[in-house]
């Protein structure tokens, strides 16, 4: 199945059949990752540029690995080592790289809407790798891929997203995405870290942790994003941990017996989540990272490759 869109800019408005098609393609491509030689010629001759205006470990590395496994050529641009430091605009940077023959952009930017802007400037596909506090669609998709592989379904699951909601693009993508495929989403966090308008996603909103995770099949923990946070939003990190930190005791008391714990990373151990929870058997954080490669392979393939998953 070819995607009905040229760009991946967000999960808001993406139909369920398209989400499922992406997940199914990623499941097929997982087989390549189990081979001794992880390489197929599907995107040979294609050129992909990762343009990251913010730091990244998981997203950037997995996109670059995904492209290389599919035999695409990858160029990586960081503003600190580019002409951005000389005053070159975002628009001119895009047009310059496109003129070199780039076939697809993967963009992370601190400004919400930057990938959308890019999609209107260039004439090649754009994938949003996180834009400000707006969305992080590929994280949402890999989370759905991970959850489906473990639980065997998405529809009907009770998913609690807890933590720093205000600064989290992951929360928005997951709220839209999980709701679209039929899961019931709950969102919990301190009132000072709860942005307006979340009800539009269909999620139930809580300002206390315990009722939000009551009977939850999935507890999705978000990082406290100190780098984006103004002073005064929290009394202290210690107070946040006391009221909202996800611990083994809270999980065993309130969540479903077979609940799993997810986190997009990086993890602040001992702040939003207890260290023993991170390392517990019901934590699937490393599964999320592993599935990120297959999911991003699927997107590159569907946007640049064709309609049948590659076998060779």
Domains defined along the chain, listed by start: 16-135+289-304 (3.40.50.1370), 137-288 (3.40.50.1370)
Confidence of residue 197 (pLDDT cuts 50, 70, 90): confident
How far is 12 from 212, CA to CA, in rounded Å? 23
The dihedral sign for the CA sequence 42, 141, 146, 15: negative
Residue 220 burial by CB count (10 A; 0-12/13-18/19+): exposed, middle or buried? buried
From residue 308, give the alpha-carbon distance in Å to each of 25, 77, 296, 311: 9, 31, 16, 9
Average pLDDT over the chain, rounded to an integer: 93
Kindly indicate the confidence band of residue 82, based on its pLDDT and cuts at 50, 70 and 90: confident
| pTM for the model | 0.94
Structure letter (DSSP) for residue 229: P
8 Å CB contact between 120 and 148: no
User: Angle at the Cα of 197 (from 194 to 202), degrees rounded to 5?
Assistant: 100
Taking CA atoms, 22 is separated from 3, 69, 70, 296, 310, in Å, by 8, 18, 16, 9, 14
List CB contacts of 226: < 8 A, sequence separation 6 or more: none
pLDDT of 311: 41
Q: How far is CA 76 from the centre of its chain?
A: 19
User: 205: helix, coil or strand?
Assistant: strand
CA distances, 51 to each of 38, 90, 310 (Å): 24, 10, 27
Dist. CA 244–CA 210, nearest whole Å: 9
Count H helices, E strands: the chain? Answer: 11, 9
Alpha-carbon distance of 107 to 54, in angstroms, equals 10
Note the Cα 204 to chain centre separation in Å: 21
| 55: Cβ contacts below 8 Å, ≥ 6 apart | none
Which residues lie across from 269 on neighbouring strands?
273
Quick: pLDDT tens for 216-275. 999 999 998 876 666 678 888 899 999 999 999 999 999 999 999 999 999 999 999 999
pLDDT in tens, 261-308: 999 999 999 999 999 999 999 999 999 999 999 999 999 999 998 544
- Strand ranges (E), 70-207: 73-77, 104-109, 126-131, 158-162, 184-188, 204-206
Strands 204-206 and 184-188, sheet pairing? parallel
The mean-pLDDT minimum among 15-24, 79-88, 251-260, 267-276 falls in 79-88
Element (H, E) at 243: helix 237-244
**In this predicted structure, what is the pLDDT of residue 48?**
98
């Amino acid at each position: 199945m070819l995607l009905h869109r040229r760009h991946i800019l967000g999960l808001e408005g993406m139909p369920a059949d398209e989400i499922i098609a992406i997940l199914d393609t990623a499941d097929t491509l997982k087989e390549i990752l189990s081979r001794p030689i992880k390489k197929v010629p599907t995107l040979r001759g294609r050129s992909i540029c990762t343009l990251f205006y913010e730091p990244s470990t998981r997203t950037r590395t997995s996109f670059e690995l995904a492209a290389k496994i599919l035999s695409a050529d990858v160029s990586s641009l960081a503003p600190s080592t580019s002409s951005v430091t000389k005053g070159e605009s975002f628009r001119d940077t895009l047009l310059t790289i496109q003129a070199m023959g780039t076939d697809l952009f993967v963009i992370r930017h601190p400004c919400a809407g930057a990938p959308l802007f890019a999609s209107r400037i260039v004439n090649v596909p754009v994938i949003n790798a996180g834009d400000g506090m707006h969305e992080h669609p590929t994280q949402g998709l890999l989370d759905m891929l991970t959850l489906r592989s473990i639980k065997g379904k998405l529809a009907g699951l009770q998913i609690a997203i807890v933590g720093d909601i205000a600064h989290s693009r992951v929360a928005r993508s997951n709220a839209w995405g999980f709701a679209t495929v039929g899961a019931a989403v709950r969102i919990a966090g301190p009132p000072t870290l709860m942005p307006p308008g979340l009800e539009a996603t269909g999620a139930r909103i809580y300002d206390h942790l315990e009722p939000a995770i009551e009977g939850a099949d999935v507890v999705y923990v978000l990082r406290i994003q100190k780098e984006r946070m103004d002073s005064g939003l929290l009394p202290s990190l210690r107070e946040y941990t006391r009221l909202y930190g996800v611990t083994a005791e809270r999980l065993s008391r309130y969540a479903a017996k077979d609940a799993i714990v997810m986190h997009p990373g990086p993890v602040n151990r001992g702040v939003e989540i207890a260290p023993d929870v991170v390392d517990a058997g019901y934590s699937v954080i490393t599964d999320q990272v592993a599935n990120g490669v297959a999911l991003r392979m699927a997107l590159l393939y569907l946007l640049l490759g064709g309609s049948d998953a590659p076998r060779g």
